[in-house]
Amino acid sequence: MRAMVYRGPYKIRAEEKDVPAIEHPNDAIVRVQLAAICGSDLHLYHGMLPDTRVGMTFGHEFIGVVEEVGPSVQNLQRGDRVMVPFNIFCGTCWYCARGLYSNCHNVNPNATAVGGIYGYSHTCGGYDGAQAEFVRVPFADVGPSRIPDWMEDEDAVLCTDALATGYFGAQLGDIVEGDVVVVFGAGPVGLYAAKCAWLMGAGRVVVIDHIEYRLEKARTFAQAETYNFTEYDDIVVHLKKLTDFLGADVAIDAVGAEADGNFTQHVTSAKLKMQGGSPVALNWAIDSVRKGATISVMGAYGPIFSAIKFGDAMNKGLTLRMNQCPVKRQWPRLFEHIRNGYIKPSEIVTHRIPLEHISEGYHIFSAKLDGCIKPLVVPTAG
Amino acid sequence: MTYTSQRPPISESSDQLRARIPGWGVDLDPKNRPSVPKLQYQEDLTGAHWEFPERQPEKWPRERSPEHKFLTPVFGTACPPRGLSGAIRKFAYRYSEGRAAHWLLLMAGDRVDAVENHLKSFLTLHPDNPITETGVLSEFSHHGIASRLGQKRADLNHQPLDPIIVGGPWILAGGLVYAACRALKKGIGSRS
């Protein structure tokens, strides 16, 4: 089969690989119809996440058709069209039983601090991902769901991570009616989080970024008020002014490890790998919210230390809430919102990349060329 | 105002927002939010029909965190550890996730892995090619200049470092190979 393969930092290519095999009785093999490149894939691409091995296939957002099932699979059969959450989870461990599917204890031998994720390094379990023609799907009775007949493919693939994560991020903000919500980052997760903040009754939604076309999308897609932080001497002070010097009630970090806005922070993390991530957005969130506020962290960070301003967070009495999104838990309610027309996930898709052009796709997304917001990967479009 | 007990006013009322934003407030009640409360017992177990899953066969000694009691019943099998990078990685798993040594050794293993595989690729019909593999040619086909020119982008100050990070080791390696060849040629010449 053809698959995206990591060759070292900033280098990937499409090459021939063996079709994955059933390795556990509850595995399925899924023929991928549509995958996506996630902003967090860029952390792998840039070599930031420990134990990212040459030869690995990335990709944790995907839909496809069941090609083969293991002997214990009861809920799926060959030919089913499925959407697969980015979390690999068993359904019965202490965490899964309580709805924390992203923290499953039975799928990642390499680390206890994170669950299993498709194509996301050995730190997340060592599973090959779905930017390929086929992918192994463990616990096929638990994770995947048949795609509802009424749902379009591009909407379905975005439910497997980005949209679910944005929705989850807004929930972790504990938004109450009339709250001022600041979202850092106008990438896919930030756009969805901003959109979903309204569903929870926000009174004002502000999006901060430095890429003008993304801010434009935040205005049109998420009806948010936007600010380009490069236009302000100090974005924290600007946010205080916007809120009559109180500060926002809720902040959502939808940027994560490669945040811009501070050269030293960015270079020491994204380039020199001396930090788990550049916490610029998170530090701005800590400083720009009011005392007693809630910060929801959806941006992904690596496992090593990062220079986060915990002193300010403590002194301000902030609540910091975070997790990888337990995707399947979001779906029933999220599907209602899509069906009711409150959210049209595919409105943020800008690029559809054939698998053979995967290296260009990553570069376009990473360097933010060509108005790129969300690139999809089409494995069969060779 | 802020310095009194009053909250700064919001310019739009809830009714105005409901009229302007499709779906405004439909999840206002926390009962409608699927992840509230955080811990919620899932009666349906999302389709699982086991108390503890069957175990996947272990085809090689699978590296695992010492913070786990045993090898998890299911695990990924991509890219088994090999060579010097594999040895470094296996060693790293002696340390818990709480130790910096664990992560720093894994990062070192990643860098060694890249070098090993670049070198190995030159013995194949499909050697690594930093031009095609970085996708940098899309700069010409996807508006590389227009995407940056005149834009107030904060990432422009560090993007020039990328070619150095990617190309630097290749240029250095090329220089070393050239110097070695020259020295070899000189040695052969002086002997004859």
Q: Per-residue pLDDT tens for A290-305?
A: 999 999 999 999 999 9
Chain B environment of A11 (Cβ under 8 Å): 128, 130, 133-134, 166
Angle, vertex CA A73, rays to CA A69 and CA A79, nearest 5 = 45
pLDDT band at A341 (very low <50, low <70, confident <90, very high): very high
Contact criterion met (CB < 8 Å) for B162 and A10: yes
Alpha helices in chain A (DSSP H): 41-45, 94-97, 153-159, 162-172, 188-199, 212-221, 235-242, 263-266, 280-288, 310-315, 327-339, 358-366
ipTM of predicted assembly, 2 dp: 0.95
As a whole number, mean pLDDT of residues B46-54 equals 95
CB burial string B89-98: b at 16+ within 10 A, e below: bebbbebebe
Q: How far apart are CA A168 and CA B98, in angstroms?
A: 27
Beta-ladder partners of A321: A296
How far apart, in Å, are the Cα atoms of A356 and each of A10, A128, A133, A379, B63?
16, 18, 11, 8, 32
Chain B environment of A341 (Cβ under 8 Å): 22-23
Angle, vertex CA B87, rays to CA B82 and CA B93, nearest 5 = 115
Interface of B with A in 167-186 (CB under 8 A): none
Interface of B with A in 71-110 (CB under 8 A): 71-79, 85, 89, 92-93, 97, 100, 103-104, 106-107, 109-110
How far apart, in Å, are the Cα atoms of A125 and each of A52, A104, A111, A241, B55?
11, 11, 7, 45, 15
The pLDDT assigned to A197 comes to 98
**Residue A71 scores a pLDDT above 50:** yes
Chain A environment of B119 (Cβ under 8 Å): none
As a whole number, mean pLDDT of residues B57-81 equals 97
The mean of the pLDDT values for chain B is: 94
Contact criterion met (CB < 8 Å) for A333 and B27: yes
CB A28 within 8 A of CB A144: yes
A·B CB contacts under 8 A: 321
Contact criterion met (CB < 8 Å) for A329 and B34: yes
Q: Cα torsion for B158, B159, B162, B163, to the nearest 10°?
A: -120
pLDDT band at A382 (very low <50, low <70, confident <90, very high): very low
Lowest mean per-residue pLDDT among A78-92, A166-180, A297-311, B167-181: B167-181
pLDDT digits (tens, 9 = 90+) for A225-257: 999 999 999 999 999 999 999 999 999 999 999
Q: How far apart are CA A366 and CA A47, in angstroms?
A: 13
Q: Give the tokens for residue A30.
A: 């899924």
Q: How far apart are CA A175 and CA A197, in angstroms?
A: 7
The total of other beta-carbon atoms located within 10 Å of residue A238's CB is 16
pLDDT digits (tens, 9 = 90+) for A28-66: 999 999 999 999 999 999 999 999 999 999 999 999 999
The total of other beta-carbon atoms located within 10 Å of residue B15's CB is 9
Of A11, A47, A304, the CB nearest to B103: A304
Q: How far apart are CA A367 and CA A353, in angstroms?
A: 15
**Residue A144 scores a pLDDT above 80:** yes
Chain B environment of A227 (Cβ under 8 Å): none
Nearest-CA distance B141 → chain A (Å): 9
